[in-house]
Amino acid sequence: MTSDLRKKIHNLGPGILMATAAVGGSHLVASTQAGALFGWQLFTFIIIVNLLKYPFFKFAVSYTAKTNKSLVEGYKENSNGLFYLFTLLNVISAVVNTAGVLLLTALLLQYVLPFKASLTSLSIGILFTCLLILLLGHYKALDKASKIIMGFLTLSTLIAFFVALSNGQVHSEPASQISPFSMAMLGFMVALMGWMPAPIEISAINSLWIKAKHRHVNIDSNQALFDFKLGYGLTLLLALLFFALGVLLQYGQDKPIELAGIAFSKQLIDMYAFTIGEWSRWLIATVAFLCMYGTTITVLDGYSRTINESYTLVAKSPKKLMSWILMAQAILGLIVILFFKANIKDMLMLAMTLSFLTTPFFAWLNYQLVKGEVFESESKVIKILTGIGFMFLVGISSLFLFWKMF
């Protein structure tokens, strides 16, 4: 390994953090269920969605690496009106997405624990420990933990995939396939895309993580892009692996595919135990829980950073309220869980759908920041993906809203 490559790997951080935030609901839930419900029909579609969103995430890295400004600063300089709209949508996303990932983490912990505990008490306990880690360690602790969690999850998922692939598809193909591209399935497809690979406002969070990392290590644009591409590639790989496991182990089964609740946790862990061996059940359950725990921590940290950045820009004061914002975000997320705890499926669908419907706005904001010199320096492929991606996001969002209204 060359010294340059060793240095790049040692300085990994923001891109892996983004992957940790991404590998949550979109992978453990949506990707697995897409394979379990529709077989291989959505394999190419998942790749396409990730590719069409890619430029808008990349713009965040390019902009911050070139200007040393966060996206939030760029939004404020470009337009006060759009900046305030971004802040409002970001606060809503922070609360809803915190509730979504926290709920999934609590469900997995409920499965792991040898005794019965309510989702409410588990959610409170998880929130308390997450807040403790962030308030005491902030970025350094988060940076180190994300690499360990992603390493364990990637290795165990790869092992499960290769074992499942060698064994072949467990259940017979159903007599008739359900098409995911019908209007009846539009709600599921929009939810699938909402957190695939992550809510697009994570790009603004990623730019703040780059700045935070830069305070500890000198990062140039090449390092920032290497980190981002590795993290983004990892999220795509894991999305496809979870999707394939859903096809190989669950597609065609007689039992209904669980979308939430303790039954969902059991089906998810069963996939690993069935392929790797029963001995691995509690190890994999723990790894899956740690994955969602890492996602919860990164979501709490990331959104509170962007809200705090918005506050400091508006107040024009060096005074920071991140700790207070972090606690408010956690409490509001918990309130949403208490409201939806009788219907977990609706809670998750709301979070993922809302993320997709706000995607065109966040994507357009990111493009506006780089549409001059930075965008011109991008490759022809990125320019084409940008145009197609934006039309796709606007088109599907409009179709979904029209479908809901009429």
- As a whole number of angstroms, the distance between CA 333 and CA 253 comes to 35
How many Cβ atoms sit within 10 Å of the Cβ of residue 56? 24
Domain span including residue 354: 13-405
101 part of a folded domain: yes
**What is the chain's pLDDT, residue by residue, as a tens digit (406 residues)?**
555 545 555 555 566 767 666 676 677 778 888 898 899 999 999 999 999 999 999 988 888 888 888 899 999 998 899 999 999 999 998 998 898 888 888 888 888 888 888 888 999 999 998 888 888 865 566 666 667 777 777 888 888 888 888 888 888 888 788 899 988 899 889 988 988 888 888 888 888 877 776 665 666 677 778 888 888 888 888 889 889 988 888 888 777 666 555 566 677 777 777 777 787 777 777 777 877 887 888 889 889 989 999 998 888 766 668 888 999 999 999 998 888 765 667 777 888 888 899 999 999 999 988 887 677 788 889 999 999 999 999 999 999 999 988 7
The amino acid present at 192, given as its one-letter code, is L
2 part of a folded domain: no
pLDDT at 388: 95
6 part of a folded domain: no
1 part of a folded domain: no
CB 24 within 8 A of CB 239: no
7 part of a folded domain: no
Q: What are the distances in angstroms from CA 117 to CA 102, 109, 259?
A: 15, 9, 20
3 part of a folded domain: no
pLDDT at 176: 80
Residue 44: φ, ψ to 5°: -65, -35
- As a whole number of angstroms, the distance between CA 295 and CA 150 comes to 10
Structural element, H or E, at residue 199: none
Structural element, H or E, at residue 239: helix 221-250
> pLDDT tens digits, residue range 237-284?
888 988 998 888 888 877 766 655 556 667 777 777 777 778 777 777
Q: Is the peptide bond before 197 cis (omega within 30 degrees of 0)?
A: yes
4 part of a folded domain: no
pLDDT at 6: 55
pLDDT at 385: 94
> pLDDT tens digits, residue range 277-316?
787 777 777 777 877 887 888 889 889 989 999 998 888 7
pTM: 0.85
- As a whole number of angstroms, the distance between CA 46 and CA 51 comes to 9
Domain count, the chain: 1
pLDDT at 384: 93
pLDDT at 351: 82
CB 109 within 8 A of CB 127: no
57 part of a folded domain: yes
CATH classification at residue 398: 1.20.1740.10
Retrieve residue 357's tokens: 């419907």
pLDDT above 70 covers what percent of the chain? 85
